[in-house]
Structure 1
Amino acid sequence: MPTVAGLNSHHSLEFVLMDYAKKREAVLKKIAQEKAKLAALDARVNQSARKLDTKRKVVLGGLLLDAASKDDRFARVLTALLDRIVRDQDRKAFEGWQVPSPALLSSAVSEAPQASAESQEPAQIPSP
């Protein structure tokens, strides 16, 4: 039976298989680590995308509310959109809320106490 570095062929095969098993385990461990890195990267990208989507919705919502307070057409569209809400929990968020409209804005202004122009002071911005 031939020997390799003082080992017979049977021992040599065991040595090669053990070495293979260790290397394989190391490669599998690296693969698992890289998969974890990839999953973390995907999660960060998805989180950033969700934040951007939320910001867009907030900005668009603000624009729509502003437009509705100045133009009855937008107020009617907003009312129609609110009528399309079907989920109870979503509808509850708008209970008692009035769609802003020019009519609502003008009635709020007419109900506000009127001060003379002389007594009105410019608004002060608080310092930090």
Structure 2
Amino acid sequence: MIQCSRVVGSDSSGNVKGDKPLGQLDGWPSPLTPQGAMMATPKKSKAEQLEALRKQEAALKARMQALQASVNDEQRKLDTRRKIVFGGALMAHASHNAQFAALVRSALNAALTKEADRELLKDWLTVAKASPADHQPPAPVVPERAKDG
């Protein structure tokens, strides 16, 4: 049998006092007495064990479903963010490149089937009327000459 001890204090000279086995400390019941004896838990029947395992399984399934829903939610948010960034990049490039804008317009006309979507993107589905300035090459940039001084 293993004896456990508990130090309850020391005197003024630092010597340990009150070093007694746990069962003999004041206020602590002895494991050898009925009041300090461990409660014996009755063994569960196999049916009770099965029921307990089923409850654990149901709890684990619920936790797994909640975690999967959280993962799905995060993935959906990332997908939405990617679409926003991707669309923004395409729109920016199309605003500077007429050939690319025509490709985007063609792709949108082919892909959009819902009237609400077509209405939302109607500005992108039609060719903007070109002004004469759109067809003129940009004016050449003439560098300023440094003044010799």
Smaller-chain TM-score range? Answer: 0.5 to 0.7
Q: Quick check: which has more Rg, 1 or 2?
A: 2
TM-score (norm 2): 0.51
After superposition, the CA RMSD in angstroms is 2.7
Counterpart for residue 93 of structure 1? 120
Counterpart of 2:102? 76
1:36 has 2:62 as partner = yes
**Amino acid of the structure 1 residue aligned with 2:118:** R
Q: Which amino acid aligns with 1:86?
A: T
TM-score by length of 1: 0.59
Matches of 2:114 and 2:124, distance apart in 1: 19
Distance in 2, matches of 1:58 and 1:98, equals 16
Deviates more, 1:45-54 or 1:82-91: 82-91
Partner AA of 1:60 in structure 2: F
Q: 1:63 aligned to 83, 89, 105, which one?
A: 89
Deviations 1:19-64 (A, max 9, x none): 2222111100000000011111111111111111111110010000
Looking at structure 2, the residues matched to 66 and 39 of structure 1 have their Cα atoms a distance apart, in angstroms, of: 40
> How many residue pairs end up in the alignment?
89
Separation in 2, partners of 1:32, 1:98: 51
Secondary structure at the aligned position of 2:61 is classed as helix
Q: Partners in 2 of 1:52 and 1:64 — Cα distance?
A: 18
Q: Which amino acid aligns with 1:37?
A: R
Distance 1:98 1:88, change over 3 A: closer
Give, in whole Å, the separation in 1 of the partners of 2:109 and 2:47: 65
For the Cα contact (< 8 Å) 2:93–2:100, is it kept in 1?
Answer: yes
Cα displacement (A) at 1:82:
1.7
Report the structure, 1 or 2, having the larger helix content: 1
Deviation at 1:98, TM superposition (A): 4.2
Residue identity opposite 1:47 in structure 2 = D
CA deviation profile, 1:51-106 (whole Å, cap 9, x unmatched):
111111100100000001101111101111221112223222224x24698x68x7
Q: What residue number does 1:115 align with?
A: none
